[in-house]
Amino acid sequence: MKNINMYYHKKVLVLGLARSGVSAASMLHKLGAFVTVNDKLPFSENPEAQGLLEQGIKVICGSHPTELLDEGFELVVKNPGIPYNNPMIAKAERLKLPIITEVELAYQISEAPIIGITGTNGKTTTTTIIHNMLNEMKKNTSLLAGNIGFPASEVAEKATSEQYITMELSSFQLMGVKTFRPQISVITNIYEAHLDYHKTREEYVAAKWQIQKNQTADDFLVINWDQEELIHLAEKTAAKVIPFSTTQRLMKGAYVQNGKLMFNDEEIGSVEDILLPGEHNLENILASIAVSKTLGVSNEAIMHVLETFKGVEHRTQFVGELLGRKFYNDSKATNILATQSALKGFKQPVVLLAGGLDRGNEFDELKPFFRNVKAVVVFGETAEKIARVAKEVEVEVHYVQDVERAVPVAFKVSKPGDIILLSPACASWDQYRTFEVRGNAYMNAIQELTDEVEQ
């Protein structure tokens, strides 16, 4: 960790806890700042705040009182999930206080160069594949951090100059960067998303584009060359651009040619040897190859990862096979676009498990992607809406109460060679606390079915 003194005896407000807020508050305290933490959860129900108080950090819980900002703070470190129209943030901006997120702090203390990955879809998968490829080359070369679940400043504290921090970055985190500069940045793709937070597509794209804000000609930007919007944006970066494409041969960068994975006209391996299914995952793989080859990872190490990587949990994750049926867990598909991507990835007949929280939208956009879907098992608040769409394209429909009950029904209507896919196209909150809980329920039900069949 770099021994920086920019926060020594500075008065800093950490707004919102969760893991990143706890990590930021602890780090600032170690750096000699006078830290105040403000979190809306009451102190009695807030073990994170209680732990910070034991470290000697001032804690204010239960609400976000705007008058707190009258106490002469010099910096606000905000939880990424707190929007900029929050009264506390709005007042901080009126007071012209610098507002950063925890990844900015991580960059400032890190001895390790950072590989930053963002995009609408594929961030976690791409981050994980890059991490695995670097560590296949040499153990402990890469440390995971950021939106993938490991607080960036906590990881940066331990990282050495001989390592890389492979960091997943959300648009929420990137809005708060000032000096943050990854050695390699990756934009997997950009679609319309999070407009409840960003208000406009333009603001959302601008937030993603922040990833390369401070890069120079010594740095690299890996970017999706199948999106015209990103091609135009790439003209505005100072970084060296490394494109990737699933649809066209490139003069440089990562692409597919005659079923082969290519980088700068060098054959890396065969597409058919990749274990992870789906064209959307091919995008993630090409981005990962671009990063890994830039950092000197061997073709053998790259292909070993691709031949063995089953996917990130709950993201088109291969769960297992039972009597010729293959089960995939894509519980992270909380919107229609994600389910479209999952369905595109399979050429075999699919039994789709779908449904969940009703946000008021219809599901007609799924119709063109039901070509290989032989049956849909629906559940949750949107069951009838998804059933309507399936019936209109003459796909068989089965109604169940929840994911657990969907598994045996899906197995019963399937045949050997079929794919059984949980890809709900909806958030989980009508029945399950998180998409992870929903995905775990699916995998547990598969295990129960397996035990029953094998008895």
Which residues make up each annotated binding site for ATP? 119-125
- The CA distance from 168 to 386, in Å, is 32
Asked whether 150 and 168 are in contact (CB, 8 A), the reply is no
Asked whether 382 and 363 are in contact (CB, 8 A), the reply is yes
Asked whether 399 and 383 are in contact (CB, 8 A), the reply is yes
Report in angstroms the alpha-carbon separations of 418 from 168, 352, 376: 33, 11, 13
Q: Which residues contact 203 (CB under 8 A, 6 or more apart)?
A: none
Asked whether 173 and 99 are in contact (CB, 8 A), the reply is no
Say which residue the tokens 């990590």 belong to. 23
* Position 297, amino acid: V
Q: Which residues contact 78 (CB under 8 A, 6 or more apart)?
A: 14, 15, 16, 89, 99, 100, 101, 176
Report in angstroms the alpha-carbon separations of 450 from 281, 323, 328, 411, 455: 28, 9, 14, 10, 9
Positive or negative torsion for Cα 201, 206, 209, 210 = negative
- Binding-site residue numbers are 119-125
Asked whether 446 and 342 are in contact (CB, 8 A), the reply is no
- The CA distance from 309 to 199, in Å, is 37
Q: Which two tokens stand for residue 303?
A: 């292909």
Q: Which residues contact 80 (CB under 8 A, 6 or more apart)?
A: 20, 101, 102, 147, 170, 172, 173, 175, 176
Paired sense of beta strands 142-146 and 317-322, if any: unpaired
Q: What length does the chain have?
A: 455
- The CA distance from 132 to 305, in Å, is 7
The three-point CA angle 216-220-226 to 5° equals 125
- The CA distance from 447 to 301, in Å, is 32
Maximum distance among all Cα pairs of the chain, rounded to whole angstroms: 69
Q: Which two tokens stand for residue 64?
A: 């976000």
Q: Which two tokens stand for residue 434?
A: 């998180």
